[in-house]
Chains A and B, each alone.
Chain A
Amino acid sequence: MKFKLTFWRVVFIVIMALGLYSSYIRYFHGLGAATNMTDQFPWGLWIGFDCLCGVMLAAGGFIMVGAVYLFNVERLHAVVRPAVLTAFLGYILFIVGLLFDLGRPWYIWHQVIYMNPHSVMFEVGMCVMTYTTVLFFEFLPNVFEAVNWKAPIKWIKKIYPVLIVAGILLSTLHQSSLGSLYLIMPSKLHPFWYTPALPFFFFGSAIAVGLAMTIFESTQSAKAFGRHLELPVLVTLGGALLVALWVNALLRLEDYIHRGLVRQIFKPSYEAYFLWLELVLTYVIPIAMLSFKKVRLSPQLLYLASISTVLGFITNRLNIALIGFETYVGHHYVPKWTEFSITLMIVALGFALFGVAAKYLPIFGEQKERLGVQAHLRPAVETGHAATATPVLEHAGD
């Protein structure tokens, strides 16, 4: 096998080299040397992006599993595997990110020994741990198929209903609990972002981002791997995303009205600028775009709307984790280059692992024939759907 040095591979190597050097600083010179975190700002980019955003970006896994296996939306079948893969990688990388952020990561196992059931962090930790295990089993059939190992696939099929229900239950719990983490800081977090409804908003945004990320990664992989892209899948996801965004937007608005903040939101201030950026990216642009049927039928435009949504919700979580504390603390927090570099390394690893998995495992294969977890249950339904799923877009977005 010949290794070709493409542009993206060079970028990847540079990111990895810098990331490894930063890791050396982190583990051999301490958090103080590697980050701009202080006693006043004990949570920085790694909690804000790697953890809060990482878990949100991996939400596509439970959303798609829920849609296809729980609600039986058969036409979304093609995106389940990439979504589960993204989620599995996302959670592994979240844990990797945590190992950088924790001051004493070698004691991370204390979590299961010295449990404190009153702690939201404990709940998040336990859910993430068990959900990553669930994702591992949901991902495993890919590997068994690749090596054509049939017996274990049957075993996993048997426990699949349990995996599905457990996966969605655990996701509901920890996606919302990430928001509950901040409930204990009413006097610190800026009122634009502190609300008793935080757990609901975190869950709601996970659903919207799960849909947007699935659109994003399907289109992106179609481009990268020259795969087929089924338009009905994207159209369904785009429609669902529009609904999810509306629900999120109305809940946010209701919360601001309820807490009497509407006028303050429109008054220019440091926090308001970041809030506007967030709201425009999350709601204004994608809702305006998706309201047009033309957009919902165009893979390219759907792709752009999903990117705006994802960036918007990332801004939202960074606002909560970082910007929302600056007034309380009294100074700005700007991550050190080493913090950026390690985050970038983790993201790059995610992309690379996704690429490797997509290349060697049947992630984008014809699932219906290969596995179709409940295929034995629905021969009739299956054939009925084949007709509607035929309009295939090749190299969509090129």
Chain B
Amino acid sequence: MSKALLYDATMCIGCKQCEVACAQQNKLPYDDNIAAESVQSAHKYTVVLSKDDKFMRRLCMHCEKPACASVCPVGAFHKTKEGPVLYDVWKCIGCRYCMVACVFGQPKYEWQSLNPRVRKCIMCPDRLAVGKQTACAEICPTGATKFGERDDLIREAQARISQSPSTYLPRIYGLNEVGGTSVLILASAKVEDYGYPASAKIGDTPMPEYTGRVMEKIPDFIPVWTLVLGGIYWVSHRRDEVAAAEATEKNGSKQ
């Protein structure tokens, strides 16, 4: 079954322990300056944002049908059945199509490096492999970030909304967006105010379908177009051959 994270913004106290744990887990530097940075980057996979005393966390959404995996020419990204979207740095050629394609703007780049890598949250696959939860969920003191089975978390999120409908906006962000994600968000404020793309704008269609519709036609297009082109070539040159043959015939009959 597929694992997921449920982030409940109403329970978040903005302690940024998840940022610290994430940095430790991924062997990234973390200090007061980095803590103050409010944007994700190659050295900060997750960030806790605050606005009007409310908090919001950002991290890779781990789409069910990830755009990054579909666009990568060398297949450096893949969605595992456990949930995480992983990145194989040794395949990467650095075209950055993943960065352009991701609706959540999650893949970040090591712009200063001479052998740069794409960086993003990979949902602690090493911890998951030994049955542990992600570092951010484990450290969260309030349970705002909760780790579990995606289906269970969806049921729990629905239950929370129905138990206190005045607290929450009646939606789970990530349930259906771009075909569903493995990070689910509950909040009292609009996630769009914190930089998340609007649900209406990104829709429920998995992103790979946009290019898939064209790509799936190519295997049929190649033989058909080859035949058409070959046919045109044959016809237009056959005409010349006939003309040439007739011309020599005429010349021959005259002589």
**Chain A residues with a Cβ under 8 A of chain B:** 27-33, 37-40, 42-43, 69-72, 101-105, 107-108, 110-111, 113-123, 125, 161, 164-165, 168-169, 172-173, 177, 180-181, 183-188, 199, 374, 377-381
Contacts and interface: CB of A to CB of B under 8 A. Distances in A.
B70 interface: yes
Contact of B237 (A38, A72, A108, A169): A72
B99 to A, nearest CB: 4
- Give 3 nearest A-B pairs by CB, closest first: A103-B94, A32-B111, A380-B247
Nearest to A112: B74
A43 B74 contact: no
19 contacts: A29-B114, A32-B111, A37-B111, A40-B105, A70-B236, A102-B93, A103-B115, A103-B116, A110-B93, A111-B73, A111-B93, A113-B74, A120-B71, A169-B222, A173-B222, A181-B97, A183-B210, A185-B101, A188-B100
A161 B233 contact: yes
A33 B116 CA distance: 13
Contacts of A168: 229
Contacts of B94: 102-105, 107
Contacts of B194: none
A380 B244 contact: yes
A104 B73 contact: no
B86 interface: no
A382 B147 CA distance: 77
Q: What is the interface of chain A mostly: helix, strand, loop, or mixed?
A: helix
Given A184-B207, A380-B247, A381-B243, A38 B236 contact: no
A250 to B, nearest CB: 22
Interface in B177-231: 197, 201-202, 207-208, 210-215, 218, 221-222, 225-226, 229-230
Contacts of A164: 229, 233
Contacts of B208: 118, 184
Contacts of B210: 183-184, 186
B96 A103 contact: yes
Interface in B108-137: 108-109, 111-116
